[in-house]
């Protein structure tokens, strides 16, 4: 009998455990008000700021209703601002605040620590392979959803 593959189960466990570790590391760097899911939004905005809600949804793989609720909390805590362009009031742009931009270096330090933890004991070639496989899995899931 063929052994049952455990990819989904392993992804789920990695997600849960890494989220807890990431939250602890954020707190150790004085970042208390951001959880890992909100961090995914901020990370996307640090890569490209002042983008539409639609673009942000795609970059984070979060549904619009989930993203909207999370943005509400991030806006209340002073990390992002919603911009309503005069030329198209239906469009909403999301922009980081100056306060949040100052947090970027600390958050990136935590992200680097997590990468070191993820890839501890792997060669650079193995790390590249893992990332290639993960991107392929992500593409497979994106192709199925869209």
Which CATH number fits the domain that encloses residue 106? 1.10.10.10
CA dist., res. 103 & res. 39, Å (int): 11
Q: How many domains are there within the chain?
A: 1
Dihedral (Cα; 14, 28, 63, 75), 10-degree rounding: 180
Position 133 in a domain: no
Whether the predicted pLDDT of 146 surpasses 70: no
Q: In the structure encoding, which two tokens stand for residue 54, read together?
A: 């639609």
Determine the Cα angle at 111 with ends 109 and 117, to 5°: 105
Position 54 in a domain: yes
Span 99-128, average pLDDT: 92
Position 4 in a domain: no
Q: What is the pLDDT of the chain when averaged over all its residues?
A: 90
pLDDT for the residue 96? 93
pLDDT for the residue 1? 65
| Residue among 60, 51, 49, 46 at smallest CA distance from 103 | 46
Determine the Cα angle at 13 with ends 67 and 117, to 5°: 90
- The tens digit of pLDDT for each residue in 18-41 reads 989 988 998 898 888 787 778 889
Span 114-124, average pLDDT: 96
Report field, pTM of the whole predicted structure over 0.75: no
Position 100 in a domain: yes
Position 145 in a domain: no
- Domain ranges, residue 74: 17-120
3-state secondary structure 13-80: HHHHHHHHHHHHHHHHCCCCCCCHHHHHHHHHHHHCCCEEHHHHHHHHCCCHHHHHHHHHHHHHCCCE
CB neighbour list of residue 127: distance below 8 Å, 6 or more residues apart: 119
């Amino acid at each position: 009998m063929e052994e049952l593959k455990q990819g989904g189960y392993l992804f789920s466990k990695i997600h849960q455990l890494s989220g807890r570790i990431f939250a602890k590391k954020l707190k150790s760097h004085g970042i208390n008000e951001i959880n890992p899911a909100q961090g995914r939004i901020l990370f996307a905005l640090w890569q490209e700021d002042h983008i539409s809600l639609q673009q942000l949804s795609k970059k984070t793989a979060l549904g619009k209703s989930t993203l909207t609720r999370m943005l509400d909390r991030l806006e209340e805590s002073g990390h992002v601002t919603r911009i309503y362009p005069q030329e198209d009031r239906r469009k909403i742009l999301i922009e980081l605040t100056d306060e949040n931009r100052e947090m970027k270096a600390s958050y990136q330090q935590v992200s680097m620590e997590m990468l070191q933890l993820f890839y501890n004991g792997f060669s650079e070639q193995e790390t590249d392979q893992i990332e290639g496989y993960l991107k392929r899995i992500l593409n497979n899931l994106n192709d199925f959803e869209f």
